[in-house]
Structure 1
């Protein structure tokens, strides 16, 4: 019942809100209420599955194997709740400052619906359907603001991600061709008996599609233009919520459907992740614009997830899940704070910067600690050195952003102080990052349960 409600709330409210004028303050706040309700339902669902349980429903009352199966485990619910939290913060940020587009609130709620469905489906094709619904809303949101810079970002984002979607659809068709099934558990079982070369080709297709969504090196070429060109709230949505599709997809498809291919590609994944970390960090240091620095930072930070995934095992996968969650909050905080002025916001941005660099007591320290643990367990001194270098680069370029954004006078900001509620919202997000660093046990426990469910094959 909860699973159905978690999908119905954003779908129904999003369909209604997109027909209304989102520039009206009441409509903007109705979207915030709808997202808060969706988050509350996901919170209850998370409590239900937190001990390793699974909530499952077959749509339309059809028997299993005929109807589409929706299944919520700790991994899916964690990513769904995290994404909706980021959407809620971004929607509230715009509602306070004044929405500039009639469709923005409705599109954010519809994006919430698409992401929620994507994270709780147990069917490969319905994953693609929810995937496309979420991306369609994202395409429209990337043009939010209507200026030339936003329209250019929207064009690049749409063109590149349509290519990623096409590759994903080809991979879905390939999986169905060799297995004759679309349910994830059936696909995983039948892939064990198919030609290994076909399985590798299909796995490579899925990896490419998800890497494009994440902006991993060398699939990163679109990301700086889009993140730097989008408005802060949209950049927070794209980096903190939509990018979770890539992280979740690599975990769900890699571990549950292609475990052998993932094991064989472990070294290659670590190399690609290392390249993302170094490239993103060096390019961020070389940028002069704050938005561009944060965009290249996003490329570097997702590299840590790929490194942990490449190492694999319970320790590596737990680090990947944990760092995905922490990175999502960090990026949402930094992008939102970059568009707000004030002493309170400066402190919030500093806390987010320390979290990205892995400095205690922010949540990023816990994430980096798990990554260091992964390097130690793997017995790789080079991996530990890489993590140290990446963290040092993060501290350098984020200090540069802080210095240029909050230490130097900005002529454009004179007489245009941000609303107090907007500053308080940013501070609240920073406090959440701090709280997860001071008391990391719930996040660690839920990440562990998520990996257990993943390794168990998500069986009900």
Structure 2
């Protein structure tokens, strides 16, 4: 059994078993944490194999390609798989410490890791859709975690909007097969040159809109603030740090890997949409009163950087897109968890996360912004350089507002804040020490990745190379 097989089989088997147990029992919650940690360890081994020996590919059941499920681990897929499982591990650990409230949460978290890993490590468009839907179905249920009216409303909105995205994606899959006669990603890319311009652009547009809805990109963002602010902090961290990676990865894998010519033709539009997301998300975040909503709008702005980098393209742009996706996932996980806690350790961790989002050294966000500036310079576009400065400045402003409203006021949890409302997640007491320590550890990881960025830069560069050479 190969490392790739274990990386996919482990979470599926464990998730199916764990769903049958009461996740509110501490032993089950911590067993889930152990499973996710083991899954992350296997993915790290797989990443080592990919970086040292090259891409790994297999067809399940020894069936010929096109019949069996084609699995492929390259630098791009393994990067997003590692990020997503790591975020799930952190969020699930936080819930295990805090006390799981719904019996199915641990099992669903593991099943989500299975779905996301399969999605990032498949090389077939239809099976991508299957893993895509499995991941989203689990996400719909997780969004309602807690069972309160606010969470149920968020789950309803999330389900309704993303079902539309799923429908568009399925139409695009059907269109791809209709015009190319294949769904293997490399074959689709090879056949796309023979497809008429109108058909290829229409299919590419379908995929783009579907992924944009999933990631909450402007102007498809309307659902995101309601959902992210309505869920529990751990779920918001999962949605922003793990599930949103579907959109970023999809835009990279499909846009660059399969529809390269169509992306080139629409590059200006892609950059403009990314720039609009950066400005819109930042301005709306500054104007909000609830810290949870501010972070939700921040998510819209941060994904704009990824889109700008994809639009610029080339090795520099794609490296920046991958790197910023990873950085954004880490930052948002830290901030969404931190804003739902109290204590000096959490406040310190939140400051590190805020500095990272704003691109202030030595946090890893500085490396991400530095790569974005390199991208803007490579594009010879001074407007993008100015945009990056403005976006970073606004990020620092609204995150300072969040810090002020959450950590500077003793009565922050009561809603009597000077200059703004309280977070809907705010606890009334200082969070447990293990929970505060977990948040600080994540902040130190963000800091360490900024002080020693070489591994992340190498992984991002290899991921960009995998896209270009496909």
SS at match of 2:187: helix
5+ long unaligned stretches in structure 2: 415-425
Counterpart residue number, 1:445 = 458
**Which shifted more, 416-425 or 428-437?**
416-425
Whether 2:95 is the aligned partner of 1:94: answer: yes
Counterpart residue number, 1:200 = 201
Following superposition, the deviation at residue 296 of structure 1 comes to: 0.2
Contact 2:341 2:427 in 1 (8 A): no
Whether 2:301 is the aligned partner of 1:322: answer: no
* Whole-angstrom distance in 1 between the partners of 2:22 and 2:40: 24
Q: Which one of the candidate residues 406, 414, 417 is aligned to 2:430? A: 417
Counterpart residue number, 1:14 = 15
Q: How many residue pairs were aligned?
A: 457
* Whole-angstrom distance in 2 between the partners of 1:252 and 1:65: 19
RMSD: 0.9
Cα deviation code 1:132-161 (max 9, x no counterpart): 000000000000010000000000000000
Q: 1:346 to 1:419 in 2, by over 3 A?
A: same
Whether 2:55 is the aligned partner of 1:54: answer: yes
Whether 2:354 is the aligned partner of 1:340: answer: no
Counterpart residue number, 1:427 = 440
* Whole-angstrom distance in 2 between the partners of 1:9 and 1:282: 43
Cα deviation code 1:266-290 (max 9, x no counterpart): 1001100010000000000000100
Q: 1:27 to 1:187 in 2, by over 3 A?
A: same
Counterpart residue number, 1:258 = 259
* Whole-angstrom distance in 2 between the partners of 1:109 and 1:64: 28
Counterpart residue number, 1:143 = 144
Q: Which runs of 4+ in 1 moved over 3 A?
A: 411-415
**Which shifted more, 300-309 or 50-59?**
50-59
Whether 2:455 is the aligned partner of 1:454: answer: no
Counterpart residue number, 2:294 = 293
Cα deviation code 1:346-403 (max 9, x no counterpart): 0000000000000000000000000001111111110000000000000000000001
* Whole-angstrom distance in 2 between the partners of 1:64 and 1:398: 49
Contact 1:359 1:365 in 2 (8 A): yes
Counterpart residue number, 1:45 = 46
**Which shifted more, 264-273 or 411-420?**
411-420
Cα deviation code 1:320-362 (max 9, x no counterpart): 0000000000000000111111100000000000000000000
* Whole-angstrom distance in 1 between the partners of 2:200 and 2:346: 49
Following superposition, the deviation at residue 61 of structure 1 comes to: 1.4
* Whole-angstrom distance in 2 between the partners of 1:382 and 1:36: 43
* Whole-angstrom distance in 1 between the partners of 2:108 and 2:156: 17
Q: 1:149 to 1:240 in 2, by over 3 A?
A: same
* Whole-angstrom distance in 1 between the partners of 2:465 and 2:54: 10
Counterpart residue number, 1:240 = 241
Cα deviation code 1:79-101 (max 9, x no counterpart): 00100000000000000000000
Counterpart residue number, 1:353 = 354
Counterpart residue number, 1:161 = 162
Following superposition, the deviation at residue 51 of structure 1 comes to: 4.2
Q: Which one of the candidate residues 410, 414, 436 is aligned to 2:449? A: 436
* Whole-angstrom distance in 1 between the partners of 2:440 and 2:243: 23
